[in-house]
Amino acid sequence: MPGSLPEAIDGGARSHGPDVSACDREPIHRPGSIQPHGLVLVADACTFKIMAGAGDIEKLLAPHWLGANLDELLGQPVSAQLAAKPNASTVVLARIVGTETPFDAIAHRVSNTIVVELEPAPAAMPSPIDVLVEMEEAAATFEQAFGLRELCERAARTFRQLTGFDRVMLYRFLDDDAGVVLAEDRDPALGTFLNQHFPASDIPKQARALYVRNRVRIIPDIAYEPALLRPAGATPMLARYCRWIGDTLRSARSLMSSGVAPAG
């Protein structure tokens, strides 16, 4: 409950850790990096010239990508697909063939910029019927829950089964902006966060705003090294557009990843 955080991580216990007093000033809504399992391309919406990118683009997509035409590099008319849907800020692109693996991709129209996210495509896709059956089973499971806590427990268990992740947690913000882990499903070898409370400084106000907008946060590898937006000189100008990077590629703030890592 608000004001009663017996298991809170005390800021005083972090004397040798990060300076949490700077959290509210951290520009996490304008990331300068991504998680390295994917790629990001940023292009001018008028010229379609690629101005910046992140990830191992040279190895996985094309060695000479900076300054290239976006449509030509991806082998499809990205600009035309966006133009065909003037009321949509995001479109799903056709699968892209990389040098080592195919990619699923989406494109965002952000002011005068196009941001394209690419993630490795799964080796096999479930059939539409399989997906429908899984969704119906999940819905039936949720309908049988008695109360919020049991619903959260069933949701964590279901989504871990669907994703294969080591851990799925449901986190709730309290009235004082502190938070609590309401439910969790995890590999038994990992430590637990269940019922632990965390002070508001652990997830500052700009991070909470992101979670209100995008309620799922995915970190496939908690030990990852961020892939910086390149070229370095373009980061201050272009990072503001990359707030549209989705939850599977957006780089986690250092305090968040360092807090999750010890427990897996």
Q: How far apart are CA 109 and CA 107, in angstroms?
A: 7
Amino acid residing at 71: D
Q: Yes or no: is domain 125-216+253-263 CATH 3.30.450.40?
A: yes
The segments of the chain whose pLDDT lies below 70 read 1-31, 213-217, 220-221, 224, 232-264
Q: Closest Cα to residue 50, out of 32, 34, 69, 33?
A: 69
What is the per-residue pLDDT for 97? Answer: 87
Domain ranges of the chain: 33-124+225-244, 125-216+253-263
Q: What is the pTM of this model?
A: 0.66
What is the per-residue pLDDT for 257? Answer: 45
The CATH code of the domain at 33-124+225-244 is 3.30.450.20
pLDDT per position as a tens digit, 90-134 = 899 999 988 888 999 999 888 888 989 999 888 777 788 888 899
The residues near 72 (Cβ < 8 Å, ≥ 6 apart) are: none
Identical fold, 33-124+225-244 and 125-216+253-263: yes
What is the per-residue pLDDT for 8? Answer: 36
